[in-house]
Structure 1
Amino acid sequence: MRDDDLRAATALRTPAATPTPAPAWASAVRRFTDFITIDLGGGPRPWKFAWVINFQKTGTFPFLALLIAWYRNHDVAAWIYLAMHGSYGLAWFLKDMAFPDPAWQRRITILGGLNVFFGVLAWYWAFGWLLISGTSRPAYPLPDHAWFCLCISLCLVGTAIMIAADAQKFYTLRVRRGLITDGLFRYVRHPNYLGEMMIYGSFALMVWHWLPFVVLAVVWTVVFAVNMIAKEASLSRHPEWAEYRRRTWWLLPPIL
């Protein structure tokens, strides 16, 4: 029997799992966020979700550079922040060109796109403005050199985790459909979100102002956590899901 025939026969003998629906509150939040970012206002859908995101991501480096020139701030922290946040945006764009996420290929309305940019993404630019403008004058808990090392390390490792997880998911699903349980997904069920949280956490630590932490708390709760819950509800249809969930972490221990 050929390998393809064997896999097909095994799939026929494997009972289908009963999906576990997402909690009602998470489904309601997901419907609301989808509406205000994709369908708001109705009418034509002239752009893709990815175009709005990529505009902000690739625009971060020149935006922060202009802030440095405008405020004539040549402190080491300002330049390190430019390197971290600006380079991350360029890395994101390269990732999207190499293996685009299907979720960002949806067409969105004009008001939806404007809401995505000004309601969410522009707040990330505010992080750099706080630091470069001098509005935030951080007194770090550690000596500057040690704090910069911590932030840069979080940013670099987070970027590597995020890109590697997205690449693994993209190329694995091109070969075979189903639950991914190896590689970066072997111990953590959402390594891509973990990487993003490490990256933006490093930005907030560099700025060391209350506003970035509030913005991240809202985004991570309303968007990231809800998306992860919805994803797990979808993945629960796979027969091996229960065992995979039992032996893995949601993000990091002791966060199950």
Structure 2
Amino acid sequence: MRRFTDYLVGDFLGGPRPWTLAWVINFQKAGTFFFLGLLIWYYHNTSTAAWIYLAMHGSYGLVWILKDVAFPDPGWQKKVTIGGGINAFVGVLGWYWVFGWLLISRTVQPHYPLPDYAWYCLCISLCMLGSVIMIAADAQKYFTLRVKRGLITDGMHRYIRHPNYLGEMMIYGSFALMVWHWLPVLVLAWVWLGLFAVNMVMKEASMSRYPEWAAYKKRSWWLVPGVL
């Protein structure tokens, strides 16, 4: 599965490699705020839900850009083909913009299980906590590995082995909850199972080469302490 996705977003159709995967990702992340604002203007939707969604998803995209400037992920710096970059946007990243379109265009008019104010509170809290967990985990990994290579078993990684993925799942889960439609759930299921889970398995296979891995795995959890 990893080889298949690497081919689709990195080597598809071959040919020149004019951009890095980071450029494609950053285009989508930075453009989200402006795309959602344009949707609000185009559909004349100034509802509370539309503005909250813009604040959550749009601001997250800008936070990602700040993160990439301060401590970029080396995994995104590889050059990819034109076809690979298009696949990365159309096959994954572009679908995240559909979330906002569903809500702001009023194609979906969600009926939340809780009163609106309580549901908004839940979504905003989940988004903020997820952002902090993701940023803190990525920062710890980036700066720790610059000083010393090896297994990271403290800080954000003390109790769970993949806090950055947990943070991302909380963030995009909050977007799906705001939209409250089956399509975001389907997209996230594909990303989480087809990409995130595969990457976590590959990461654990790599970490298993360290002598302290067995003890660390025994006392830590995959994603959520006490649950998974």
Could you say which TM-score interval applies, normalised by the shorter chain?
over 0.9
Structure 1 residues without counterparts, runs of 5 or longer: 1-28
1:97 paired with 2:69, answer yes
2:131 corresponds in structure 1 to: 159
Question: 1: distance between equivalents of 2:226 and 2:186?
Answer: 23
Question: 2: distance between equivalents of 1:190 and 1:114?
Answer: 28
After TM superposition, list the pairs within 5 Å mapping 1:238-249 onto structure 2. 238-249=210-221
Question: 2: distance between equivalents of 1:136 and 1:221?
Answer: 25
Shift of 1:119: 1.0
2:87 corresponds in structure 1 to: 115
Question: 1: distance between equivalents of 2:43 and 2:3?
Answer: 41
2:202 corresponds in structure 1 to: 230
CA contact (8 A) 2:160 2:225 kept: no
1:136 corresponds in structure 2 to: 108
After TM superposition, list the pairs within 5 Å mapping 1:184-223 onto structure 2. 184-223=156-195
Structure 2 residues without counterparts, runs of 5 or longer: none
CA contact (8 A) 2:108 2:181 kept: yes
User: Which amino acid is 2:19 matched to?
Assistant: W
Shift of 1:253: 3.9
Shift of 1:254: 4.7
User: Which amino acid is 2:182 matched to?
Assistant: W
SS at match of 1:38: helix
Question: 2: distance between equivalents of 1:228 and 1:158?
Answer: 18
SS at match of 1:200: helix
Count of residue correspondences: 228
User: Which amino acid is 2:79 matched to?
Assistant: R
2:154 corresponds in structure 1 to: 182
Q: Larger radius of gyration, structure 1 or 2?
A: 1
User: Which amino acid is 2:61 matched to?
Assistant: G
TM-score (norm: length of structure 2): 0.99
Instruction: Spell out structure 1 runs of 4+ moving beyond 2 A.
Output: 253-256
After TM superposition, list the pairs within 5 Å mapping 1:22-41 onto structure 2. 29-41=1-13
| Higher RCO structure (Cα 8 Å, ≥6 apart) | 1
- CA RMSD in angstroms comes to 0.6
User: Which amino acid is 1:143 matched to?
Assistant: P
Question: 2: distance between equivalents of 1:45 and 1:148?
Answer: 42
SS at match of 2:103: helix
Question: 2: distance between equivalents of 1:252 and 1:185?
Answer: 11
